[in-house]
Amino acid sequence: MDDDGFREGQPVWVIQDDGSTRAGVYVGGGENATWFGGAPLAYVVFPDTRSGAEVPIDRVTPRDATA
């Protein structure tokens, strides 16, 4: 597990700007953000589009792998 409590490959929900959720997979923590004084970040991949994103860790929550 990473310092933020997630493990690589873990299914997660990412809370979007409009409050909706999007299924993603946790890839790792964005350590550079806190190093430079920013909020902690997480790297996620979205299976529906096969794209990745760097998102604030407080917008990432675990999801049931069967969901």
What string of pLDDT tens digits covers the 67 residues of the chain? 666 789 999 999 999 999 999 999 999 987 665 566 777 899 999 999 999 999 999 999 999 855 4
Kindly compute the dihedral angle of the four CA atoms of residues 33, 35, 37, 43, in this order, to the nearest 10 degrees.
10
- From CA 10, how far away is CA 56, in angstroms rounded? 16
User: Could you tell me the two tokens for 48?
Assistant: 């529906």
Hunting for tokens 């690589």 — which residue is that? 8
**Confidence at residue 67, expressed as pLDDT on a 0 to 100 scale:** 45
Q: Using alpha carbons, select from 65, 67, 64, 60 the residue that is nearest to residue 5.
A: 60
Residue 12's region, left for phi above 0, alpha for psi from -120 to 50, else beta, is beta
